[in-house]
Amino acid sequence: MSDTSYHPDWPDLPPEGHPLRLLGARLADLLDEDNWNNCEALLMQAWEELTQAKAELAALHTELELLTHKLITCSVAASHPDANLAHTKAYAKQWNSPQAEDVRILRADRDALRAECERLRVDATVKAGRLLYIADNINDNVAVRFGLEAREDEIIAVMKDAGWPIDARKAQP
């Protein structure tokens, strides 16, 4: 093969021992000058395309690594036991993405809803306990009319607090 100074637009020659270089040497021995010039251009074009393909492959590997880290960041934001971890270090800097921020928001909403459900469960348990206590006291004090009326008022008040529909006539003393 001729040197690259004759063809300034071509990339560097393949390294010694590369198959394209070996093919070029063999073709140079077999072909006359005109045919060799045609083949040399094709070999140099093949080398250039191979070099570009390697550069594109390296760029794709870099992008794949970044996207993998971004996917891991979304996973950490969604399910890691430490909800704040996704807001720190590389997770919040070079691996951050709009999708990761959306996942963080969804997790915060989910955690708030879980806390609200737990609060409502505790409130319902407490109110049910109060109702059972009042019902027990009513059963124990059936003979005493004044005590019974006071307990009925308490039951109506607790039921109203719990959001149960109460007939207005029954709620009147």
CB 151 within 8 A of CB 134: yes
Residue 144: domain span: 97-173
Evaluate whether residue 14 is within a structural domain.
no
The domain tally of the chain equals 1
Give me the residue label for tokens 């059963």.
139
101 token code pair: 């921020």
Evaluate whether residue 61 is within a structural domain.
no
For residue 6, pLDDT over 50 is answered with: no
87 token code pair: 């807001």
Question: Taking Cα atoms as reference points, which of 172, 161, 94 lies closest to residue 134?
Answer: 161
CB 27 within 8 A of CB 18: no
Of 25 and 142, which is predicted with more confidence? Answer: 25
For residue 56, pLDDT over 90 is answered with: yes
For residue 122, pLDDT over 70 is answered with: yes
Evaluate whether residue 77 is within a structural domain.
no
Provide the pLDDT for residue 28: 76
Q: What's the whole-model pTM score?
A: 0.48
Of 168 and 102, which is predicted with more confidence? Answer: 102
The proportion of the chain whose per-residue pLDDT surpasses 90, expressed as a percent, equals 13
Provide the pLDDT for residue 29: 77
Evaluate whether residue 50 is within a structural domain.
no
Evaluate whether residue 130 is within a structural domain.
yes
